[in-house]
Amino acid sequence: MKIKLLQVLFALAVFTLASSADSAQTKKFTAVDLQKLRWIEGTWRGTGDVDKPFFERYRFENNSVLAVDSFEDETLER
């Protein structure tokens, strides 16, 4: 009986986590949410868990579109 209950609880936990992951992937951002990111506009040199830095440019095309350009190096040509 205990094993059966544990199996049911485990299945319920997996289902709950899967449902949460699905809803997180379908989250939509509003224009108001996007406006909170105005500080990111510009050209950036970033680092992280990669061997070499990355280069990106963020620009607002309008109130609901944030365009991101990625470049190979600091020349920002390609």
State residue 24's pLDDT score: 56
State residue 17's pLDDT score: 52
**Is the CB of residue 58 less than 8 Å from the CB of residue 70?**
no
Q: Could you tell me the pLDDT band of residue 3, with boundaries at 50, 70 and 90?
A: very low
Contacts of 33-38 spanning 24+ positions with Cβ under 8 A: 34/60, 34/63, 34/64, 34/66, 35/63, 37/66
State residue 69's pLDDT score: 94
For 17-74, what is each residue's pLDDT tens digit? Answer: 555 555 556 778 888 998 899 999 999 998 877 788 889 999 999 988 899 999 988 8
Secondary structure (H, E, C), 21-69? HHHHHCCCCCHHHHHCCHHHCEEEEECCCCCCCEEEEEEEEECCEEEEE
The answer to whether the pTM exceeds 0.75 is no
